[in-house]
């Protein structure tokens, strides 16, 4: 049995938990101040994101305003704006019963035809129409796990009002959006009860360093935190909250190093990686060692099965390699200090095995690297969809990867993952969670960070009364 | 039209004050990847899983099956099912090595195994859709429950229920206690007649079987009946009813010894022929038919076992711990996982110093005797576990 320990993550989380505020009577009022690194010019779920960071930031903010028919929670798929769903025997047509009495941000009540229009806007190829208190969706090509597919933020129900106003049903309504600031106001008639705070102010395009300083200085209440900064916040008595691991950090070899002839060489380099040390030392306990693309909680099988443990070259064989094969250049995103820190540690480990590793963080043109250290989101959904998402993002980075078909059986997902990692072109290193720093005036009986990503800001209140 | 899924309606209201006060624990629980889960929610997968393993291993083969320590019950079930298919459970040799674990992802419950024999490697995966009710049953909320039995000024060694009466063992007597509308009161007492001089740390144990009972003391065994209330004692050492084999406490001593010479003070049944014993200097030791091994945990003076409580697959143990105030002990709850004691959040502060913690021989309950120095009395409590899901 391969030990897959996340002890360091557990320990760090417990340490962070020490600082959790004791329960207090919730208070209404005040404006919660949140900061994000990405620029958010719109919250429209249908709008294409400019990059992964913007996509991730919107996935956090959008659910505060818009809600999909279904929701994926830690215990599986749950109803949200739909109360139930059925599929016709032939598999291409679904019927979702729309929850009654949901008051939209404009004061009207959500109608099935509005749901159908929203679905059509985001999926033009589908046929969606109201049928009584339900909406029928014909996807054409059968999607056997449609309720899972439409649980993401992109499929949230948006009612497009006059002048292009975006009307949702979530706990907050949009008051103002510009590229540097988003103002949300509490939705008094929210069907799951009004949020405690009156509003949320989201400052976007804030660099991580600035977010830290703002949190420490009391100018922000919830900020994004890099793993390399977690200890600093905890030492100052501030809370650091974590989701489940939702991102894969992996080493991806470039095509000239991805040949079959170089397989033993790649295995040898991969075998030098000390994942536990990266997790506990570099990432300050805020990560879990990764020997698979999917985190074990997403696959369900990763702890029992080794995806790749083929033998590596011996150290003497490494020493006998030509110089150009003993020298490895790893490229990292110059703006990403976390992957830079991991790469530096990889260099130390590889050096002990006889390799010379150069870490390259170019801001302009640079020599061709041998590998890149990349971060890839592992979305909280079914194992096959999560792996398909990872494969798609890796493909976009140049590593062609086969994805399991939607709704695939788990053994098919396993085989696809095995195919992804067995050539050692993609080397999983760590799985990292979303981390948030939470300020002293934030009270909550539950964590601000949702286990599957994002924030639970409707459940937050501000201590000290109305500011 | 075929109904594939019909989801339950609704979210509950946000009742803050009913949520666990320990946000810290909640955070820790939510933040970390789920560890290996108990076996119980996966037992229904065992037949299909064993069948898949059997097909991969081949007919009449030998296999060594290993699950994580938390899933021993599941391992036993899979081994049993494999044996029924003619697959022997053997370690080493040409036996296939089966590393298995059951877990969940967001959609399914998953049992996965990697089967190796030499260079041959196979993988089997068995899944079943998640069910919210079964999810809810994964982790019982277990708490120590104390029920006061009796209190008196004089020293007590043990208390046992005998029908609607209580038997109270003291160093000098056995008393019969009635507990009715008038309150608990001693209605009869019989002296323990012996030539022995009790050790300074005198210990005693009662065993009730219908209308008769036995009292065990160091070098003395008494036998009696409840109705009529009678008692006869003899200066003889008998094995005490601890479950773990022993020859009783020798006169002028306070410890037991197993037939192979292991000295222990208390023993908690863990089920499956395994025991957790308090050895010398409070060292906790796991004892089974194969021998003894240290249980990595803090030292303790008292342990009681609850092997089959809460439908879990790992037994629970209650041990003593120092409470925050002087002259007071606490009971602390642990789960036994493999050879480790994993502390659980439940603990109960006692009103004094714990002087005895006697497990029921079959486990599932215990009797705690507490000396409240400040109030100048001894109190007896029935100790059990409450389980919620």
Q: B69 lies in a domain?
A: yes
Per CB-CB distance under 8 Å, the chain B contacts of A1 are 66, 68, 99, 101
Nearest to B127 among A245, A288, A410 (CB): A410
Asked if A445 and B9 come within 8 Å (Cβ–Cβ), the reply is no
Which of B78, B110, B134 finishes a domain? B134
Q: What is the CA radius of gyration of chain B?
A: 25
Q: Are residues B101 and B172 in the same domain?
A: no
Q: Are residues B115 and B247 in the same domain?
A: no
Asked if residue A275 lies in contact with residue A7, where contact means CB atoms within 8 angstroms, the answer is: no
Q: Are residues B263 and B299 in the same domain?
A: yes
A101-150 pLDDT tens trace: 999 999 999 999 999 999 999 999 999 999 999 999 999 888 989 999 99
Asked if B24 and A288 come within 8 Å (Cβ–Cβ), the reply is no
Query: Among A451, A446, A440, which Cα is nearest to B16's?
Result: A446
Angstroms from B108 CA to nearest CA on chain A: 8
Q: Are residues B186 and B74 in the same domain?
A: no
**For range A36-46, the mean pLDDT:** 91
B297-326 pLDDT tens trace: 667 889 998 887 775 666 788 888 776 677
How many helices (H) and strands (E) chain A has is answered by 14, 21
Q: B221 lies in a domain?
A: no
**For range B60-78, the mean pLDDT:** 89
Asked if residue B241 lies in contact with residue B226, where contact means CB atoms within 8 angstroms, the answer is: no
Query: Among A144, A141, A140, A45, which Cα is nearest to A85's?
Result: A144
Name the CA dihedral angle for A374, A380, A385, A389, rounded to a multiple of 10 degrees: -20
Domain edges within chain A = 66-167, 243-433
Q: Are residues B111 and B151 in the same domain?
A: no
User: Which pLDDT belongs to residue B389?
Assistant: 57
- Structural domain of B60: 11-134
Q: Are residues B53 and B153 in the same domain?
A: no
**For range A193-205, the mean pLDDT:** 94
Residue with tokens 């065992």: B46
User: Which pLDDT belongs to residue B26?
Assistant: 32
User: Which pLDDT belongs to residue B13?
Assistant: 31
Q: Which of A63-72, B94-103, B142-151, B269-278 has the highest mean pLDDT?
A: A63-72
Beta carbons within 8 Å of B388's beta carbon, 6+ residues apart:
B140, B141, B143
Read off the tokens for B385: 């576990």
The pLDDT-based confidence of B232 (bands split at 50, 70, 90) is: very high
Count the Cβ atoms, other than its own, within 10 Å of residue B98. 28
Nearest to B33 among A78, A244, A410 (CB): A244
User: Which pLDDT belongs to residue A309?
Assistant: 61
Size of interface A-B (CB pairs under 8 A): 188
Q: Looking at chain B from residue 212 to 271, which residues have their Cβ under 8 Å from any Cβ of chain A?
A: none
Angstroms from A443 CA to nearest CA on chain B: 11
Does residue B344 surpass a pLDDT of 50? yes
Does residue A387 surpass a pLDDT of 90? yes
**For range B189-205, the mean pLDDT:** 91
Looking at A25-39, A154-168, B5-19, B375-389, which range is the least confident one? B5-19
Instruction: Tell me whether strands B220-225 and B212-217 are parallel, antiparallel or unpaired.
Output: antiparallel
Looking at A47-51, B30-34, B170-174, which range is the least confident one? B30-34
Q: How far apart are CA B302 and CA B359, in angstroms?
A: 10
Asked if A14 and B30 come within 8 Å (Cβ–Cβ), the reply is no
Q: How far apart are CA B48 and CA B110, in angstroms?
A: 11
Which of B81, B103, B134 finishes a domain? B134
Asked if B23 and A72 come within 8 Å (Cβ–Cβ), the reply is no
Q: B222 lies in a domain?
A: no
* Total domains present in chain B: 2
Instruction: Tell me whether strands A31-35 and A199-203 are parallel, antiparallel or unpaired.
Output: parallel
Residue with tokens 């608990």: B184
The pLDDT-based confidence of A403 (bands split at 50, 70, 90) is: confident
DSSP conformation class of B173: E
Q: B256 lies in a domain?
A: yes
Q: Are residues B114 and B192 in the same domain?
A: no
Q: How far apart are CA A96 and CA A94, in angstroms?
A: 7
Q: Are residues B148 and B79 in the same domain?
A: no
Q: How far apart are CA A391 and CA B134, in angstroms?
A: 32
Q: B353 lies in a domain?
A: yes
Where helices occur in A172-305 by DSSP H, the ranges are 208-216, 230-235, 263-271, 275-277, 296-299
Q: Are residues B173 and B305 in the same domain?
A: yes
A445 or A286: whose pLDDT is higher?
Answer: A286
Q: Looking at chain B from residue 294 to 333, which residues have their Cβ under 8 Å from any Cβ of chain A?
A: none
Which residues are B263's β-sheet partners?
A: B257
User: Which pLDDT belongs to residue A307?
Assistant: 64
Looking at A209-218, A276-285, B215-224, B247-256, which range is the least confident one? B247-256
Which of B80, B111, B134 finishes a domain? B134
Query: Among A247, A248, A252, A249, which Cα is nearest to A372's?
Result: A252
Angstroms from B385 CA to nearest CA on chain A: 26
Q: Are residues B106 and B197 in the same domain?
A: no
Read off the tokens for B173: 């007597």
The secondary element (H helix, E strand) that includes residue B231 is strand B230-234
Asked if A411 and B123 come within 8 Å (Cβ–Cβ), the reply is yes
Q: What is the CA radius of gyration of chain A?
A: 23
The secondary element (H helix, E strand) that includes residue B104 is strand B96-104
A167 or B16: whose pLDDT is higher?
Answer: A167
User: Which pLDDT belongs to residue A360?
Assistant: 94
Residue with tokens 């903010």: A61
Q: Are residues B309 and B165 in the same domain?
A: yes
HEC-encoded secondary structure of A212-236: HHHHHCCCCCEEECCHHHHHHHHHC
ipTM of the complex: 0.83
Read off the tokens for B100: 């298995």
The pLDDT-based confidence of B132 (bands split at 50, 70, 90) is: low
The mean predicted confidence, pLDDT, of chain A is 88
Q: How far apart are CA B208 and CA B216, in angstroms?
A: 11
User: Which pLDDT belongs to residue B2?
Assistant: 31
**For range A376-385, the mean pLDDT:** 94
Per CB-CB distance under 8 Å, the chain B contacts of A379 are none
The mean predicted confidence, pLDDT, of chain B is 82
Assign domain A243-433 to its CATH architecture: Roll (3.10)
**For range A249-254, the mean pLDDT:** 95
For residue B374, CA distances in Å to A97, A315, A374, B326 come to: 66, 69, 65, 10
Q: How far apart are CA A446 and CA A461, in angstroms?
A: 11
pLDDT exceeding 90 applies to what percent of chain A?
68
Residue with tokens 């000239």: A256
Query: Among B175, B212, B214, B211, which Cα is nearest to B191's?
Result: B175
- B70 reaches A (C-beta below 8 A): no
For residue B140, CA distances in Å to A14, A169, B135, B148, B344 come to: 21, 36, 11, 25, 11
User: Which pLDDT belongs to residue A113?
Assistant: 97
Asked if residue B203 lies in contact with residue B216, where contact means CB atoms within 8 angstroms, the answer is: no
User: Which pLDDT belongs to residue A442?
Assistant: 92
A266-320 pLDDT tens trace: 998 998 999 999 999 999 999 999 999 999 999 999 888 876 666 667 777 777 7
Q: What angle do CA A14, A19, A22 make, to 5 degrees?
A: 110
How many helices (H) and strands (E) chain B has is answered by 4, 27
Asked if B106 and A192 come within 8 Å (Cβ–Cβ), the reply is no
The secondary element (H helix, E strand) that includes residue A129 is strand A127-131
CATH number of A66-167: 3.90.76.10
- Best mutation target among B29, B107, B127, B338 (most A Cβ atoms within 10 Å) is B107
Does residue B18 surpass a pLDDT of 70? no
Beta carbons within 8 Å of B339's beta carbon, 6+ residues apart:
B69, B286, B293, B294, B295, B296
Where helices occur in A281-371 by DSSP H, the ranges are 296-299, 315-319, 323-326, 337-352
Asked if residue B294 lies in contact with residue B284, where contact means CB atoms within 8 angstroms, the answer is: yes
Q: Are residues B158 and B307 in the same domain?
A: yes
* Chain A nearest-CA residue for B136: A75
Q: Which residues of B156-190 are buried (b: 16+ CB within 10 A; e: fewer)?
A: bbbbbbbeebbbbbbeebbbbbeeeeeeeeeebeb
* Chain A nearest-CA residue for B106: A76
Query: Among B320, B310, B379, which Cα is nearest to B347's?
Result: B320
- B133 reaches A (C-beta below 8 A): no
Name the CA dihedral angle for A54, A60, A61, A64, rounded to a multiple of 10 degrees: 160
């Amino acid at each position: 049995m391969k030990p897959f320990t996340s002890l360091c993550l557990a320990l760090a989380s417990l340490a962070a938990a020490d600082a959790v505020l004791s329960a207090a009577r919730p208070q209404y009022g005040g404006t919660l101040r949140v900061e994000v690194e990405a620029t958010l010019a719109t919250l429209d779920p249908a709008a294409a994101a400019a990059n992964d960071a913007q996509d991730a930031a919107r996935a956090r903010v959008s659910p505060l305003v818009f809600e999909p028919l279904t929701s994926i929670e830690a215990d599986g798929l749950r109803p949200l704006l739909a109360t139930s769903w059925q599929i016709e025997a032939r598999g291409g047509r679904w019927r979702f019963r729309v929850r009654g009495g949901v008051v939209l941000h404009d004061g009207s009540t959500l109608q099935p035809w509005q749901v159908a229009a929203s679905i059509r806007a985001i999926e033009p190829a589908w046929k969606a129409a109201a049928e009584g208190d339900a909406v029928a969706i014909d996807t054409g090509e059968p999607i056997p796990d449609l309720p899972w597919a439409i649980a993401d933020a992109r499929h949230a129900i948006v009612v497009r009002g006059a002048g292009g106003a975006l009307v949702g049903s979530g706990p907050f309504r949009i008051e103002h959006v510009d590229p540097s600031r988003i103002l949300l106001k509490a939705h008094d008639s929210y069907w799951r009860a009004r949020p405690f705070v009156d509003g949320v102010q989201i400052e976007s395009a804030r660099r991580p360093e600035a977010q830290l300083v703002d949190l420490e200085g009391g100018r922000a209440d919830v900020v994004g935190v890099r793993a390399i900064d977690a200890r600093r916040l905890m030492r100052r008595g501030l809370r650091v909250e974590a989701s489940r691991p939702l991102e894969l950090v992996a080493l991806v070899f470039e095509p000239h190093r991805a040949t079959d002839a170089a397989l033993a060489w790649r295995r040898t380099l991969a075998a030098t990686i000390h994942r536990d040390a990266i997790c506990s030392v570099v990432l300050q306990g805020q990560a879990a060692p990764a020997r698979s693309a999917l985190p074990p909680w997403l696959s369900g099988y990763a702890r029992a099965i080794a995806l790749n443990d083929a033998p590596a070259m011996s150290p003497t064989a490494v020493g006998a390699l030509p110089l150009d094969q003993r020298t490895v250049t790893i490229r990292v995103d110059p703006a990403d200090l976390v992957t830079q820190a991991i790469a530096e540690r990889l260099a130390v480990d590889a050096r002990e095995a006889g390799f010379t590793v150069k870490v390259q963080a170019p801001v302009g043109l640079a020599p061709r690297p041998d590998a890149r250290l990349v971060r890839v989101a592992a979305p909280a959904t079914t194992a096959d969809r999560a792996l398909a998402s990872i494969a798609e993002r890796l493909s976009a980075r140049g590593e062609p990867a086969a994805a399991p078909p939607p709704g695939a059986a788990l053994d098919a997902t396993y085989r696809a993952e095995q195919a992804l990692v067995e050539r050692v072109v993609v080397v999983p290193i760590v799985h990292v969670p979303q981390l948030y720093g939470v300020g002293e005036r934030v009270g909550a009986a539950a964590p601000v960070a949702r286990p599957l990503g994002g924030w639970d800001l409707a459940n937050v209140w501000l201590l000290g009364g109305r500011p | 039209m075929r109904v594939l899924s019909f989801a339950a309606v609704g979210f509950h209201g946000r009742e803050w004050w009913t949520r666990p006060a320990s946000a810290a624990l909640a955070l820790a629980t939510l933040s970390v990847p789920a560890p290996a889960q108990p076996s119980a929610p996966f037992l229904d997968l065992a037949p299909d899983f064993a069948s898949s393993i059997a097909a991969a291993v081949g007919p009449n083969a030998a296999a060594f099956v290993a699950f994580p320590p938390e899933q021993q019950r599941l391992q036993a079930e899979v081994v049993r099912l494999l044996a029924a298919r003619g697959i022997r459970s053997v370690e080493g040799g040409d036996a296939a090595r089966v590393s298995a674990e059951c877990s969940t992802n967001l959609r399914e419950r998953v049992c996965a195994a990697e089967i190796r024999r030499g260079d041959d490697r196979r993988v089997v995966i068995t899944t079943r859709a998640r069910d919210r009710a079964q999810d809810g049953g994964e982790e019982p909320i277990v708490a120590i429950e104390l029920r006061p039995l009796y209190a008196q000024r004089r020293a007590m060694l043990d208390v046992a229920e005998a029908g609607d009466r209580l038997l109270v063992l003291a160093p000098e007597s056995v008393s019969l206690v009635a507990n009715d509308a008038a309150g608990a009161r001693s209605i009869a007492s019989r002296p323990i007649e012996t030539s022995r001089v009790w050790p300074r740390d005198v210990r005693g144990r009662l065993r009730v079987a219908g209308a008769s009972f036995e009292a065990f003391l160091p070098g003395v065994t008494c036998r009696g009946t409840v109705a009529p209330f009678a008692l006869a004692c003899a200066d003889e050492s008998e094995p005490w009813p601890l479950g773990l084999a022993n020859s009783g406490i020798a006169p002028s001593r306070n410890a037991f010894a197993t037939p192979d010479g292991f000295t222990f003070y208390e023993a908690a049944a863990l089920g499956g022929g395994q025991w957790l014993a308090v050895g010398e200097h409070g060292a906790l030791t796991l004892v089974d038919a194969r021998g003894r091994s240290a249980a990595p945990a803090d030292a303790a003076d008292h342990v009681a076992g609850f092997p089959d409580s809460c439908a879990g697959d790992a037994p629970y143990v209650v041990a003593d711990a120092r409470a925050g105030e002087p002259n007071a002990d606490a009971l602390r709850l642990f789960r036994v996982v493999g050879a480790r004691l994993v502390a659980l959040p439940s603990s109960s502060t006692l009103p004094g110093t714990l002087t005895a913690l006697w497990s029921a021989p079959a486990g599932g309950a215990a009797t705690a005797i507490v000396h409240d120095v400040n109030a100048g009395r001894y109190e007896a409590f029935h100790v059990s576990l409450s389980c919620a899901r």
